[in-house]
């Protein structure tokens, strides 16, 4: 992950000291490079911390092309094909970074170019020619993007703590807190007053005349379209298409230059991703597993899976005392309130990966839902629930 901060003002210049202080809060997101830029009139400032994944280590952002300034956190998959298409249309790239395609794509096609991107990303485009700012976020909202509006202008950042360094007051949004504890907050909300998220698949457009947030990408609509196409085909074709889609998704995530590890919990979700990575990824893949000690069998199951796949297996012991000690660390970095210690366990596991030299890890989030990996998804329980539900509905209707 990388991290960025952007400040665009109406009239008052952006103080470089304040911009640097905000950038300091994001140092942990990108230890491989740091850069900042301030427009000639001082009204727009951009800061960036880089975690080098694709391209030379010394390269950094923002990208500057024809008075358009772009900063992006994330990865653009299959970017080589995008780059080739843009170069054929006249683009001249200054780096070998995957994210530079956003700058040239915008110059050629405008903000609609984002529809062509496949990846996980959040970014900001400052078009000084038009005096307009665009903030974009990927379909699923994998990469974070927060913003705050004020009389000064607009501030955007990869984390809320950077916005606080730029002057935001960290006051609880009590309505959002209520929703968070009893349901869930909306995709544009945070737990803090006046601080918002760019929703997944949306674009925020801002200028001195005002701002608006509109949908640009819809993962749900795309999934529905794909489902309709699959349902129109013969059932025997469904499984090969699913496997092919998963295989390509895993392969896309190996485009970086450094080593990639995988989380392995012993469940269906992470085991599926690990198996595909071992078969279609790189040799020497490592798997990392949390071991909570007596009373749990995740580590034992993960060890068996790792052995069958030929993976190097790293077990990270985690005690109750460690979960308590690092709970605050997890909350501080997630910038939301957790209801259990899973966040702390992930924080400890991530630190173990980083200390082993890894910058990227594959996880199985979402695969349990797809492959019925949860215990409550067993066939017997689903059948029992369906019968119980039918009886209940019959009683209600009678």
394 compared with 121, residue with greater pLDDT:
121
What is d(CA 7, CA 24) in angstroms, rounded to the nearest whole number? 15
pLDDT value at position 79?
92
Express each pLDDT in 105-125 by its tens digit: 999 999 999 999 999 999 999
Backbone angles phi, psi at 207, to 5 degrees: -150, 180
pLDDT value at position 284?
79
Q: What region does 317 belong to: left with phi over 0, alpha with psi -120 to 50, or beta?
A: beta
> How many CB atoms sit inside 10 A of residue 73's CB?
27
Token digits for 311?
């993976």
pLDDT value at position 113?
96
> How many CB atoms sit inside 10 A of residue 209's CB?
7
- Answer for the pair 299, 291: CB distance below 8 angstroms, yes or no: yes
Average pLDDT over residues 51-62: 78
Average pLDDT over residues 196-212: 97
**CA angle at 313 for the pair 320 and 347, rounded to the nearest 5°:** 40
Residue 42 confidence (pLDDT) above 60: yes
What is d(CA 275, CA 291) in angstroms, rounded to the nearest whole number? 21
Residues linked to residue 69 through DSSP beta bridges, in sequence order:
64, 126
Place of tokens 């200390």: 355
Residue 94 confidence (pLDDT) above 60: yes
- Helix residue spans in 298-366 (DSSP H): 298-309, 320-325, 327-334, 342-355
Q: Average pLDDT of the chain? A: 88
Angstrom distances, CA of residue 99 to CA of 23, 94, 116: 20, 11, 13
228 — pLDDT class (breaks 50, 70, 90): confident
Among 57-71, 304-318, 361-375, name the one with the lowest average pLDDT. 361-375
Among 113-117, 277-281, 315-319, 345-349, name the one with the lowest average pLDDT. 277-281
Predicted TM-score of the model (pTM): 0.89
Measured in whole angstroms, the distance separating CA 253 from the mean position of its chain's CA atoms is 13
Token digits for 370?
């797809």
212 compared with 252, residue with greater pLDDT:
212
pLDDT value at position 234?
75
293 compared with 103, residue with greater pLDDT:
103
Domains and CATH numbers, the chain: 3-219 (3.60.20.10), 236-365 (3.40.50.620)
Residue 233 confidence (pLDDT) above 70: yes
Express each pLDDT in 248-295 by its tens digit: 888 888 887 778 899 998 888 889 899 999 987 667 789 999 999 876
Measured in whole angstroms, the distance separating CA 111 from the mean position of its chain's CA atoms is 20
pLDDT value at position 184?
82
77 — pLDDT class (breaks 50, 70, 90): very high
DSSP state of 300: H
Token digits for 44?
């727009």
Closest by CA to 129, choosing from 86, 69, 89, 203, is 69
Residue 392 confidence (pLDDT) above 60: no
Express each pLDDT in 19-33 by its tens digit: 999 999 999 999 889
> How many CB atoms sit inside 10 A of residue 338's CB?
13
Burial 132-141 (b: 16+ CB within 10 A, else e): bbbbbbbbeb
Average pLDDT over residues 158-181: 95
385 — pLDDT class (breaks 50, 70, 90): low
pLDDT value at position 241?
82
DSSP state of 378: S
Residue 395 confidence (pLDDT) above 80: no
Backbone angles phi, psi at 385, to 5 degrees: -65, -40
- Answer for the pair 271, 305: CB distance below 8 angstroms, yes or no: yes
246 — pLDDT class (breaks 50, 70, 90): confident
Residue 390 confidence (pLDDT) above 50: no
């Amino acid at each position: 992950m990388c991290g960025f901060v952007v400040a665009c003002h109406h009239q008052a210049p952006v103080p470089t000291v304040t911009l640097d202080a905000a950038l300091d809060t994001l140092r942990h997101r990108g230890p491989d490079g740091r850069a900042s830029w301030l427009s000639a009139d001082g009204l727009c400032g951009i800061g960036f911390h880089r975690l080098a994944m694709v391209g030379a280590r010394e390269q950094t952002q923002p990208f500057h092309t024809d008075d358009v300034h772009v900063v992006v956190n994330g990865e653009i998959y299959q970017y080589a094909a995008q780059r080739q298409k843009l170069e054929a249309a006249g683009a001249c790239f200054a780096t070998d970074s995957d994210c530079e395609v956003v700058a040239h794509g915008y110059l050629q096609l405008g903000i609609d170019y984002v529809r062509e991107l496949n990846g996980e990303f959040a970014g900001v485009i400052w078009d000084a020619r038009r005096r307009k700012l665009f903030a974009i976020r990927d379909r699923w909202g994998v990469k974070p993007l927060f913003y705050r509006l004020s009389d000064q202008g607009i501030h955007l950042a990869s984390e809320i703590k950077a916005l606080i360094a730029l002057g935001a007051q960290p006051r609880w949004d009590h309505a959002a807190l209520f929703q968070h504890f009893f349901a869930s907050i909306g995709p544009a909300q945070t737990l803090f007053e006046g601080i918002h998220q760019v929703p997944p698949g949306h674009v925020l457009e801002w200028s001195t005349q005002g701002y608006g947030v509109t949908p640009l990408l819809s993962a749900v609509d795309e999934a529905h379209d794909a489902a309709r196409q699959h349902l129109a085909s013969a059932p025997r074709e469904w499984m090969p298409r699913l496997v092919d889609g998963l295989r390509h998704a895993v392969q896309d995530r190996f485009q970086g230059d450094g080593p990639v590890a995988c989380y392995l919990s012993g469940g269906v979700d992470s085991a599926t991703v690990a198996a595909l990575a071992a078969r279609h990824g790189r040799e020497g893949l490592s798997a990392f597993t949390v071991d909570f000690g007596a009373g749990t069998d995740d580590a034992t199951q993960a060890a068996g899976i790792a052995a069958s796949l030929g993976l190097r297996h790293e077990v990270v012991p985690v005690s109750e005392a460690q979960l308590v000690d690092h709970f605050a660390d997890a909350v501080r970095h997630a910038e939301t309130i957790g209801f259990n210690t899973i966040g702390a366990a992930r924080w400890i596991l991530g630190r173990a990966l980083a200390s082993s030299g890894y910058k990227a890890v594959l996880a199985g989030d979402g695969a349990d839902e797809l492959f019925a990996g949860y215990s409550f998804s067993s066939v017997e329980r689903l059948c029992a629930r369906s019968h119980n539900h039918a009886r209940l509905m019959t009683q209600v209707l009678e």
